[in-house]
Chains A and B, each alone.
Chain A
Amino acid sequence: MFITDIKKGFYDVVVNQRVALLVAADIDALCACKILQALFHCDQIQYTLVPVKGWQDLSTAFLEHKEQFRYFVLINCGANVDLLEMLQPDSDSIFFICDTHRPVDVINVYNDTQIKLLIKEDDDLGVPAYDDIFQDEENEEDSGNESDEGSEPSGKRRRFDEGAVERRIERQRAKREWEARRREILFDYEQYEYHGTSAAMMFFELAWVLTKDTKDMLCGFMIRSHKILCSRLSMKYVSDIATMQRHVSRHSHRNEDEENSLSIDCMRISFEYDLRLTLYQHWSLYESICNSCYTACGFQLWTLKGQKKLREFLADMGLPLKQVKQKFKSMDITIKENLRDVIEESSNKFGLKDVRIQTFAAHFGFQNRFLASDMVHAAAALLENTEREDNDTTDNFITALDSLSRSNLDRLTTGIGLAKKKLIAVQQTVASCLCTNLIMSQGPFLYCHLMEGTPDVKLFSKPLALTLLCKYLLKAFVAFTRNKRCKVLPLIMAAPKDVEKGTVIVVGIPPESETSDKKNFFGRAFEKAAESTSSRTLHDHFDTSIIELKTEDRSKFLDALITLLS
């Protein structure tokens, strides 16, 4: 069931209880977790934090903790399956689910006792009405009996008179119709996978209700927002941003009268225009332009022509190469002063109209200024850190979590370093994919397969990194290709996951276009294709559009997918 009053329905219940937090490994969950942790600290609520990376993890974590806990909070996992069916919990375990994955499983929606959804009901969920998908108890039982007996007709039943038989036939027909309709409704409902309001947003609102919202929390919260901003999704998100912006201005307003006396060390958050260049404040301007998705795709930097264009662009701005190639922090102060305006002016000339975007920035101390987008990249890089030997999910999760608080700047710096490496790897992979024509049009979708032995292939065995690469690649491809039909196709990408086990990780993303609502139909399609070809797949990820597949089964799986979607 949906919880309408998050304070009463959720927080007041778990106060003074021990709570198990099962958190998915993505950035939104990270931020949500951070906010919730802060709340728990304020009220001294004991909790156990368990990062989970997939359904299997979730089940194990639940089994390990079900003896000790009654209350489970699931962040960004669990809403899109029938949780009770999967976990088989005791009847007194209670699950609070705060999840952006949509659609929400109908069983979860209509379970009143054990499943509490921390999801706003007005979030245009389009949940089918109860009557459309569930029959009343007695009815169900009745029909259950009948179908039972239908399959093994016994002598007793034959004694019924004609009328009864007719009534039964009538009833069965109605039932068949109802079932067909139910299937249709459910198909419509479950066909597309998409994302709803961010989990961090839900918890921030909770914090607001409890009047314990702080700037640090807000920071965590706005980080999440960045993704929304960048991917420019549907109207719903725009209103979310407006809400957030109100929060930001409320926070800055609170200190306005004593603004001049506030310590420089206090964090200030602003909502401002900034450049769409990734990490440029922690990098050199040149490298940032080369490795930002927006500029790289705009200039088509993987071509010679693109490189030339970039030079022209820099010349047009009147920035000496020496300055551009050195660390942004050490750049000449006179250049930095009106850098943003200069860049914007020149980019407009070069057809990059949207180089300026609105974003959130946090300032503290004399030199620390972080854009929300930079934080996202850094945290994501830490979350999927492949450089460490042990490569432990929990450790990475905790590190990423730490990097979000400003007392751990060194962690964040490490994260930024990793993010740079990752971006360079993405950029190079995109360039090589495009130059060697690795992207093939398969009819209903584009397909690209990273070969074993490609540089940085280990990096892309992780879902977030691969998704980032996917989006980047698709953008680049759309900018690059002349084939108009290809521009509106979705992309499926496969990368080696585990060489020893012989598995690949497969990600599907919706087509790149301004208008389409970002709904992803690959989840269902993957399931069906796997079913029909009996490929050995693993649907372990919380996003259904990310799966693992045995390498040998890849071609038959793809064939099935092509037939299915065309």
Chain B
Amino acid sequence: MSDALSEDGSDINQDDSQEDVMTPAELIAKLEEAWLNEKFSPELLENKSEVVECVMEQLTHMEANLQRVKKGDAKAGFHRMEIDRIRFVLSSYLRSRLQKIEKFFPHVLEREKSRVDGQQSLLSPEEFAFAKEYYANTETYLKTVALKRMPPNLQTVDMLKAVPEPCLDSFVFLRVKERQENILIEPESDEQRDFVVDLEEGSQHLMRYRTIAPLVSSGAVQLI
């Protein structure tokens, strides 16, 4: 645990650190990972609300500390800059998730519906509310603008069909964090055969997202 940070205080996650011991620095690294993964993956990834919450806590705590610092302390400037940088990553992360929700909202909600209890939800409660509202608003919008003037048999629209699905077949760049063996690669053309590759730790690859999607969520690879 980071006793070093004790001065400016960051013993927040000492309370719930029994199972999940993480220094603030690691926390920030986690956030950045999530940010990059979210940026490059074609589909919406699992939410990392516990990371987001911890970072938010850290930020509020630090800001509260800064309020107490007297004017003109050189350190305050450094802290403020760091806070701004973290805040940038955080908002960029959340924003990219919202963008994806807006783009794929019916599919996202569909997955949420079919989720069995106990399974980790894709959306955080706030994002879920956002998605539902977005869905409702889009529907009302379509209705008032066009649908209600249509013949009765055409007045419904199936959102699931109307909105494109995320394209899991797009290529992504990735860096391997944990060695993986026997990844099956589907061929591009019919003449070629399937083949397997081993992903060495630290190596970088270009391949289809579908192949490594589980590895992204498990954290074994990092999209870049």
B75 within 8 A of A: no
The reply to whether A44 and B77 form a contact with Cβ atoms under 8 Å apart is yes
Per-residue CB contact flags for chain B residues 68-92 toward chain A (1 = under 8 Å, else 0) read 0001100001000000000000000
How far does the Cβ of B2 sit from chain A's closest Cβ, in whole Å?
28
Chain B's closest residue to A15 (CB) is: B72
A111 contact set on B, CB distance < 8 A: none
How far does the Cβ of A210 sit from chain B's closest Cβ, in whole Å?
15
A16 within 8 A of B: yes
**Bound-complex Cα distance A307 to B15 (A):** 90
Per-residue CB contact flags for chain A residues 33-44 toward chain B (1 = under 8 Å, else 0) read 000000000001
B77 contact set on A, CB distance < 8 A: 44
Per-residue CB contact flags for chain B residues 49-75 toward chain A (1 = under 8 Å, else 0) read 000000000000000000000011000
B72 contact set on A, CB distance < 8 A: 15-16
**Bound-complex Cα distance A353 to B72 (A):** 56
Chain A's closest residue to B80 (CB) is: A44
Per-residue CB contact flags for chain B residues 157-183 toward chain A (1 = under 8 Å, else 0) read 000000000000000000000000000
Per-residue CB contact flags for chain B residues 93-109 toward chain A (1 = under 8 Å, else 0) read 00000000000000000
**Bound-complex Cα distance A529 to B89 (A):** 68
Per-residue CB contact flags for chain A residues 3-35 toward chain B (1 = under 8 Å, else 0) read 000000000000110000000000000000000
Within 8 A of B (CB), among A18-74: 44
Within 8 A of A (CB), among B185-199: none
A15 contact set on B, CB distance < 8 A: 72
A44 contact set on B, CB distance < 8 A: 77
Chain A's closest residue to B76 (CB) is: A44
**Bound-complex Cα distance A44 to B72 (A):** 8
A16 contact set on B, CB distance < 8 A: 71-72
**Bound-complex Cα distance A16 to B76 (A):** 12
Chain A's closest residue to B74 (CB) is: A44
**Bound-complex Cα distance A281 to B93 (A):** 51
Chain A's closest residue to B72 (CB) is: A16
Within 8 A of B (CB), among A323-347: none
Per-residue CB contact flags for chain B residues 138-152 toward chain A (1 = under 8 Å, else 0) read 000000000000000
Chain B's closest residue to A17 (CB) is: B71
**Bound-complex Cα distance A475 to B111 (A):** 86
Chain B's closest residue to A16 (CB) is: B72
How far does the Cβ of A13 sit from chain B's closest Cβ, in whole Å?
12
How far does the Cβ of B144 sit from chain A's closest Cβ, in whole Å?
42
How far does the Cβ of A393 sit from chain B's closest Cβ, in whole Å?
33
How far does the Cβ of B79 sit from chain A's closest Cβ, in whole Å?
13
Within 8 A of B (CB), among A402-432: none
**Bound-complex Cα distance A15 to B72 (A):** 8
How far does the Cβ of A70 sit from chain B's closest Cβ, in whole Å?
14
**Bound-complex Cα distance A16 to B70 (A):** 10
Within 8 A of B (CB), among A85-142: none
**Bound-complex Cα distance A16 to B77 (A):** 12
Within 8 A of A (CB), among B29-66: none
How far does the Cβ of B81 sit from chain A's closest Cβ, in whole Å?
11
**Bound-complex Cα distance A554 to B219 (A):** 85
How far does the Cβ of A46 sit from chain B's closest Cβ, in whole Å?
10
**Bound-complex Cα distance A247 to B25 (A):** 46
How far does the Cβ of A56 sit from chain B's closest Cβ, in whole Å?
34
How far does the Cβ of A7 sit from chain B's closest Cβ, in whole Å?
16
How far does the Cβ of B76 sit from chain A's closest Cβ, in whole Å?
9
**Bound-complex Cα distance A233 to B72 (A):** 43
How far does the Cβ of A448 sit from chain B's closest Cβ, in whole Å?
55
Per CB-CB distance, the 4 closest pairs between chain A and chain B, nearest first, are: A16-B72, A16-B71, A44-B77, A15-B72
Show 4 residue pairs from A and B whose CB-CB distance is below 8 angstroms, ordered by the A residue.
A15-B72, A16-B71, A16-B72, A44-B77
Q: Which residues of A contact B (CB under 8 A)?
A: 15-16, 44
